[in-house]
Structure 1
C-alpha cells in the first residue's frame, strides 16, 4: 500500500518552515542567456515550459531541460 500523495497543509504551530515553490523560469526565442558550464548563448527554440534549445555559436546547440537551474537570462 502506497502513502497518499495529497498536499499537506502547514500548521502555524509547526517549528518547520513551509515549502516554498520556486518560480518557474520562462524564456522566449531570442533571449540572451548565460549557462554555468557552456557560457553565453541565445535561445533559438522554446519547447513549451519543459525545454529550450540554446545556440552557443559555431554550431553548438544544447537542449536544456526544466527546471533550468544552470541557465540565467542576461
Structure 2
C-alpha cells in the first residue's frame, strides 16, 4: 500500500475542471419579475426576503427558493 503525499492537490493550468471560487455577479430579482425554473416552469416573483430567498408563484404551486439558485433565471 502506497502512502500519499501530504501536499495538496496538484493544480494544472488550463484544466476544464478548475473552477473559479467566485462565479461572478448573481442575478437580482424584484417583485413582479417573470422567472423560469428548471423544474417548476414559468413563474412570477411575489416576495423577496433580504436578498437571500424569494417567493414565486408558478401557477400550480407557490415556492420559496433560496438564492443564488442556478436553476432559476430571470426573463
Alpha-carbon RMSD across the aligned residues, in angstroms, is 1.9
The structure that has the greater radius of gyration is 2
Could you state the TM-score of these two structures normalised by the residue count of structure 1?
Answer: 0.69
CA distance in 1, matches of 2:33, 2:52: 16
Where in structure 1 are there 5+ consecutive unaligned residues? 1-13
Q: Does 1:41 align with 2:13?
A: no
Matched residues in 1 for 2:22 and 2:51: separation?
16
Match of residue 27 from structure 1: 29
Q: Runs ≥4 in structure 1, deviation > 2 angstroms? A: 14-20
| Contiguous gaps of at least 5 residues in structure 2 | 1-10
Looking at structure 1, the residues matched to 44 and 19 of structure 2 have their Cα atoms a distance apart, in angstroms, of: 36
How many positions carry a matched residue from both structures? Answer: 60
- What TM-score do the two structures reach when normalised by structure 2? 0.68
